[in-house]
Structure 1
Amino acid sequence: MAQTLLPLQQDGDFLTLTLANPDGLAPAQFSLADGTTASIWDTGVICFEPKTATAKDIVLSCGVHGNETAPIEICAELVKDLLTGKLTLKHRLLVLFGNPPAINAGTREVSENLNRLFSGHHSLGAGLINAERKRAKALEEYVSRFYSQVRITGATTRNRYLYDLHTAIRGSRFEKFAVYPFLHDKPWQKAEFEFLQACDVTTVLLMQTPASTFSYYASNSHGADAFTIELGKVQPFGKNDMSRFSKARAALRQLVSSDTVQTQRFDEQQFQLYQVYRAINKQTQEFKLHFADDVENFTSYPLGTLLATDGDTEYRVEREGEAIIFPNAKVAIGQRAMLMVVPTTVAHNLA
């Protein structure tokens, strides 16, 4: 293992090491020049413990869908710069490359949508029958381990965060947007809206029900401030215009390396806020969307417009301002094929 880690400590290329060992990487630990402890827990799982105590525990995840390459490149660069000393860590950090086999294949998934398998969904039905289900269970365990095993001392209250970085299958009326998991009547956090804005994200979808996503798992199971952040549209490796992610990249690097992130005071007028009005699930193989494949997320249609059919069932626009998001007719039967969202406000429940 020492021979494997030698080039990693020199060039910091953890992504290459991950993709060369998609089925498993032996645990290892070593120290960086600034006293930070770097620990490899598994393929695509690396933990950093700074020498000085802080109260923040940060998880950055990417590659939960293997073809969403821009977040993978952003996280790979951040890890490389930490390992090579170009960036100095301030807070505890766990970086997760979610689905290495799918990343290698250049596909969204290998067998099943990994981001529909959290909060125990990996073990429902037939159980741990494929690599994605096993990986979802392992990722839950790694996040639990990270939040619970705090080696450094000096802080009585831990502040937990998880930012799950994605890019979307299709374009969006708002290029970047975030999904704020259902909080079970707890207030939305003003500071988190301010951080999202620093990432160049001012469109936020406020979920109204529990979900099987990674961000909901971290929020509901561990009390973390957690988000699914969509940074743009899916592109192959090497085809991303990384200048479009400059603000997100800078904010994430500042998040892990500084006491605070430079933000603007929250002003709801600078945001586009939506909440879920209804979810449309695929019930049969006859499910069909009645708009073009290149229609963007957050597109709205006049009242009564036919959106989808599923056998004899028709889905039409029911409310003024209702917009589509995440439409995908290719999902498995029983899974969400589209969300319908409407504008909302957070002024009544903001902390």
Structure 2
Amino acid sequence: MSQTTNELATVNVLDWTLAGYNGEPVAESQQLLGKSISYAGGELYFPDYGIVIVEPSRPSDKDVVLSCAVHGDETAPIEIVRDMIHGIMRGELKPVQRTLFLIANPAAIAIGKRFVDMNMNRLFSGAHREGDSREHQRAAQLEQVITDFFAAAPAGERQRYHYDLHTAIRDSEFEKFAVYPFTHGAPYKKEQLTFLAECGVETILLNQAPTTTFSYYSVRTHGADAFTVELGKVRPFGENDRSKFAAAQNMFTRLICEHELNLPAFDENRTRVFDVCRTINRTVESFTLHFPDDVANFTAFEKGELLATDGDQEYLVEQSGERIIFPNAKVALGQRALLTVVEVPFANLQLV
């Protein structure tokens, strides 16, 4: 990668990503592809559109991936990542941790939709081999980029992190929450729960099976501490109340710019934990959810209430206090249309 002067520090990285990825001409004065920008303490590289690598000259002991726009209409995380990159480009932020920023689905951002052809968050851990859409191709590329990023780390004991940032289609009883991917029996980490609480994310959903999400890919393939982080509700660019995301952006900034975070002691009273009770898939065209479209994530239902019908199959609430999350009757056949969850006490969890 050729080094350039820092005149490129004024380029809007999101505009550059959208134009270049979608084949539009990019003026030479605005072209970041294959170039680098120096900051006090390291270099910022642009190997491909929407892929930005921070390499400190004397890296600390963390390798951090911050991804956004796996769904192209989730604008708040895109704004956070864009602004963090711009802060480094302008010399306002000086990372000491190796960092990989990913603007995952530029084609979907450009049309203001969740995806172009396929839900990209169902295409990782090799699921991209089953098709050839733009999302399939991009998911394969992103897996390789993360593999290369971790492989290029200096020798020695290092910590790997991946926070995949999202906003949800609908409101939530708990505005911010994170999905803790399946750990394959490994204990849950108090440090990570505390970090997320400091981000304003005080609700955790445990995933108890392998998935094809981006965060699970990094857990299983690279041994990273990784999470799908839901920061609020989907809104158009310019309509996000950035004050609601300030704590998260501050903590992600501190994560990459400080050698040690010195987090407060773990306090289980700060966090509510939910476990998946059931996964309900859509298998027929006539799949129906039996509650209004505006019902919020984590809404509780009473035992015996009808949640969904899938052809002749009825799904009733099996226990009082069962809550719904991620309902979407329009998913492709065979995909998850609804999860139900129940709260679990910390006494039931293995923690380190």
Q: Tell me the TM-score normalised to structure 1 length.
A: 0.94
CA distance, structure 1, for counterparts of residue 73 and residue 37 of structure 2: 32
Q: Which residue of 1 aligns with 2:16?
A: 17
Instruction: Provide the secondary structure at the position in 2 that maps to 1:338.
Output: strand
2:131 is equivalent to residue 132 of structure 1: no
For the Cα contact (< 8 Å) 2:39–2:88, is it kept in 1? Answer: no
For the Cα contact (< 8 Å) 1:66–1:100, is it kept in 2? Answer: yes
C-alpha RMSD of matched pairs (Å): 1.8
CA distance, structure 2, for counterparts of residue 12 and residue 271 of structure 1: 40
CA distance, structure 2, for counterparts of residue 221 and residue 232 of structure 1: 28
Q: How do residues 211-250 of structure 1 correspond to structure 2 at under 5 angstroms? A: 211-250=211-250
Moved more, 244-253 or 25-34: 25-34
Give the gaps of 5 or more residues in structure 1: none
Q: Which residue of 1 aligns with 2:26?
A: none
2:310 is equivalent to residue 310 of structure 1: yes
For the Cα contact (< 8 Å) 2:308–2:314, is it kept in 1? Answer: yes
Q: How do residues 40-59 of structure 1 correspond to structure 2 at under 5 angstroms? A: 40-59=46-65
- Number of aligned positions between the proteins: 344
For the Cα contact (< 8 Å) 1:197–1:263, is it kept in 2? Answer: no
For the Cα contact (< 8 Å) 1:188–1:346, is it kept in 2? Answer: no
Q: Which residue of 1 aligns with 2:276?
A: 276
CA distance, structure 2, for counterparts of residue 260 and residue 202 of structure 1: 22
Q: Which residue of 1 aligns with 2:109?
A: 103
CA distance, structure 2, for counterparts of residue 350 and residue 99 of structure 1: 35
CA distance, structure 2, for counterparts of residue 8 and residue 218 of structure 1: 35
Moved more, 200-209 or 263-272: 263-272
2:133 is equivalent to residue 120 of structure 1: no
Q: Which amino acid aligns with 2:351?
A: L
CA shift, 1:53, in A, is: 2.7
Measured against aligned partners, the alpha-carbon deviations of 1:29-53 in whole angstroms (never above 9, x if no partner) come to 3241414122212110010100113
Q: Which amino acid aligns with 1:11?
A: T
Instruction: Provide the secondary structure at the position in 2 that maps to 1:61.
Output: strand
Give the gaps of 5 or more residues in structure 2: 24-30
Moved more, 253-262 or 186-195: 253-262
For the Cα contact (< 8 Å) 2:63–2:158, is it kept in 1? Answer: yes
Q: Which residue of 1 aligns with 2:327?
A: 327
2:78 is equivalent to residue 75 of structure 1: no
CA distance, structure 2, for counterparts of residue 230 and residue 262 of structure 1: 24
Q: Which residue of 1 aligns with 2:161?
A: 161
Q: Tell me the TM-score normalised to structure 2 length.
A: 0.94
Q: Which amino acid aligns with 2:21?
A: P
CA shift, 1:72, in A, is: 0.2
For the Cα contact (< 8 Å) 1:287–1:308, is it kept in 2? Answer: yes
Q: Which amino acid aligns with 1:146?
A: F
CA distance, structure 1, for counterparts of residue 195 and residue 269 of structure 2: 16
Q: Which amino acid aligns with 2:159?
A: N
2:67 is equivalent to residue 61 of structure 1: yes
CA distance, structure 2, for counterparts of residue 264 and residue 285 of structure 1: 50
2:339 is equivalent to residue 339 of structure 1: yes
Instruction: Provide the secondary structure at the position in 1 that maps to 2:285.
Output: coil
Q: Which residue of 2 aligns with 1:191?
A: 191
CA shift, 1:345, in A, is: 3.0
CA shift, 1:328, in A, is: 0.4
Q: 1:21 to 1:334 in 2, by over 3 A?
A: same
Moved more, 261-270 or 115-124: 261-270
**Matched residues, percent identical?**
48
Q: Which amino acid aligns with 1:145?
A: D
CA shift, 1:16, in A, is: 1.4
For the Cα contact (< 8 Å) 1:12–1:79, is it kept in 2? Answer: no
Q: Which amino acid aligns with 1:212?
A: T
CA distance, structure 2, for counterparts of residue 217 and residue 8 of structure 1: 37
Moved more, 10-19 or 276-285: 10-19
For the Cα contact (< 8 Å) 1:12–1:81, is it kept in 2? Answer: no
CA distance, structure 1, for counterparts of residue 59 and residue 134 of structure 2: 36
Q: Which residue of 2 aligns with 1:349?
A: 350
Q: 1:8 to 1:224 in 2, by over 3 A?
A: farther
CA distance, structure 2, for counterparts of residue 118 and residue 165 of structure 1: 16
Q: Which residue of 1 aligns with 2:36?
A: 30
Q: Which amino acid aligns with 1:19?
A: L
Q: Which residue of 2 aligns with 1:143?
A: 146
Measured against aligned partners, the alpha-carbon deviations of 1:46-71 in whole angstroms (never above 9, x if no partner) come to 10100113110000000110000000
Measured against aligned partners, the alpha-carbon deviations of 1:110-160 in whole angstroms (never above 9, x if no partner) come to 000000100001113xx3x2100000110100000000012xx4x611100
CA shift, 1:283, in A, is: 0.4
For the Cα contact (< 8 Å) 1:65–1:113, is it kept in 2? Answer: yes
Q: Which amino acid aligns with 1:135?
A: R
Instruction: Provide the secondary structure at the position in 2 that maps to 1:70.
Output: helix
